[in-house]
Structures are given as C-alpha cells and as structure tokens.
C-alpha cells in the first residue's frame, strides 16, 4: 500500500464554501440523525457541494454510509476516545468500500492528539487495504 497522504489542501483549493444543498433520501428521519445533518451543513459551509443524507440501512437491512458527497460514500463516526479510532475506522471502511470517499471522525469537544489518531488510521489502512 502507498503511504498515506494528507489531501486537506487539495480539498481546500477545490472548495466553494456555501454552495450546495442538503438532499435527504426518501424516508430519512431527521430526529435520528442530528449529528449527520450538522456535519452535512459543515461540509457545505466549509467545502461546498451537495450532500445526500442516506438512510442508515438499505433494503437488504445492511448498514450504509451516512452521506453521498461529491458522488462518493462518506461515513460519520462519533468517537469517544483515541482508543476507539481503530474500531470506528474498521467499521467505516466496510461501509464505504463500494464507492470510497472517506470517514469523518467526530470527537465532539474532546481534546485529542491528532498525530496519535493519524498513526492509528495509517496502521488500520496498512493492515487491511480496503480498496483493492
């Protein structure tokens, strides 16, 4: 597997903050997805682009990613600690594998060591290359 690369600058260079809208999949229940809606608004305000909010399970009762953004699957994981990152990324990779965009880790207001988080994510990606 190639080395993990931070592509934040690319996203920021391509950004069109404030442009786009939130589109909800039929049957989407707002009250069950407060964090997803909040992150969708953040994506639009910060980077732009339409965000499609997906129902949590498909017709086959299989968990799905939370968003379709820039025509790719994205999954939001609320993470309580750095120790929970590996499991969250493992589950998120499974949910985006058919059309990978990314995984958004939401630590809320918790103070975290971002370098430690990056190491855990890189180790997970090296152990299992989900995109082969």
What pTM did the predictor assign? 0.87
What is the per-residue pLDDT across 14-41, written as a single tens digit (0 to 9) for each?
999 999 999 999 999 999 999 999 999 9
Domain boundaries, the chain: 19-127
Could you tell me which CATH number the domain at 19-127 has?
A: 3.40.1350.120
Which stretch of DSSP H or E encloses residue 75? strand 72-78
Average of pLDDT values for 2-8?
72
Which residue, among 77, 54, 51, has the nearest Cα to 65 in the 3D structure? 54
Contact 41, 21 (CB under 8 A): no
What is the per-residue pLDDT across 27-80, written as a single tens digit (0 to 9) for each?
999 999 999 999 999 999 999 999 999 998 766 667 889 999 999 999 999 999
Position 128 scores a pLDDT of 75
């Amino acid at each position: 597997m190639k080395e993990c690369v931070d592509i934040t600058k690319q996203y920021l260079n391509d950004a069109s903050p404030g442009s786009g809208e939130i589109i909800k999949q039929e049957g989407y229940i707002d009250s069950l997805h407060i964090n997803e809606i909040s992150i969708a608004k953040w994506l639009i305000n910060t980077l732009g682009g339409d965000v499609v909010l997906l129902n949590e399970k498909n017709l086959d009762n299989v968990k799905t990613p939370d968003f379709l953004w820039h025509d790719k699957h994205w999954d939001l994981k609320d993470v309580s600690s750095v120790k929970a990152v590996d499991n969250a990324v493992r589950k998120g990779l499974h949910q985006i594998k058919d059309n990978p965009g990314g995984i958004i880790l939401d630590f809320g207001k918790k103070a975290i060591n971002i370098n430690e988080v990056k190491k855990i994510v890189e180790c997970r990606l090296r152990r299992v290359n989900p995109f082969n």
